[in-house]
A and B are shown apart, each in its own frame.
Chain A
Amino acid sequence: EAGVTQFPSHSVIEKGQTVTLRCDPISGHDNLYWYRRVMGKEIKFLLHFVKESKQDESGMPNNRFLAERTGGTYSTLKVQPAELEDSGVYFCASSQVGFGRNEKLFFGSGTQLSVL
């Protein structure tokens, strides 16, 4: 069974440009989460999808970030325009419906975003 897949693994862009990160959850997982880790700091929650609906987006830093999950399958996270402080590792995670307490949360290997 394929795990959570994230693409690209690395992205280097200039300030002001747009970047789109993609996450393919494990097939059949209704819950999809985005997290971010800025260098040297905690991994922080960004948002949570249940199928195609945003369950909780309280961690999204500002309106330059847009997450979508059309059709309830893969998800994208777009940053437009990117700023220097957006650099970090963006993790995606998924779990089956009913495992809301993160007992079976599977993480991708992350996208390393560098904004220059």
Chain B
Amino acid sequence: AQSVTQLGSHVSVSEGALVLLRCNYSSSVPPYLFWYVQYPNQGLQLLLKYTSAATLVKGINGFEAEFKKSETSFHLTKPSAHMSDAAEYFCAVSEGGDDKIIFGKGTRLHILP
């Protein structure tokens, strides 16, 4: 069965510092992996996705994630945090051909001035 584990329900970083949000997954077949973001009072928005092409995936707003099969990880990074990055981030997995997405519990990112 698929599952996703996000380490840390809350992460705080200073403005301009590196953002690192951790995600580990479990899947019996090669997975599709996603990061979604939810800004206050908005719906979930796709940041980036991995679909078995390049292992380093670039997304919107300067975010990127690297698929590491050996570590079953898909951590999200951004070199320099901006105040507007404050939001809740969800890692998710789906198995190829399966319409269901399995989400992690989410990590709320706080940006300190």
Known: A103-B51, A105-B46, A107-B43. A43 touches B103 (CB 8 A): yes
Q: Cβ of A64 < 8 Å from any Cβ of B? A: no
CB atoms of A41 and B46 under 8 A apart: no
Known: A101-B51, A109-B43. A43 touches B100 (CB 8 A): no
List of A residues within 8 angstroms of B94 by Cβ: 101-102
- Interface residue tally of chain A, by bracket? 20 to 34
Counting chain A CB atoms within 10 Å of each CB, the highest count among B44, B45, B90, B105 belongs to: B44
Q: Restricting to B57-113, which residues have a CB under 8 Å from any CB of A?
A: 90, 94, 96-106
CB atoms of A45 and B44 under 8 A apart: no
11 A-B interface contacts by CB (under 8 A)? A35-B103, A40-B105, A42-B4, A42-B106, A55-B99, A56-B99, A101-B51, A102-B34, A102-B101, A109-B42, A110-B43
B: residues with CB less than 8 A from A are 4, 9, 32, 34, 36, 41-46, 49, 51, 90, 94, 96-106
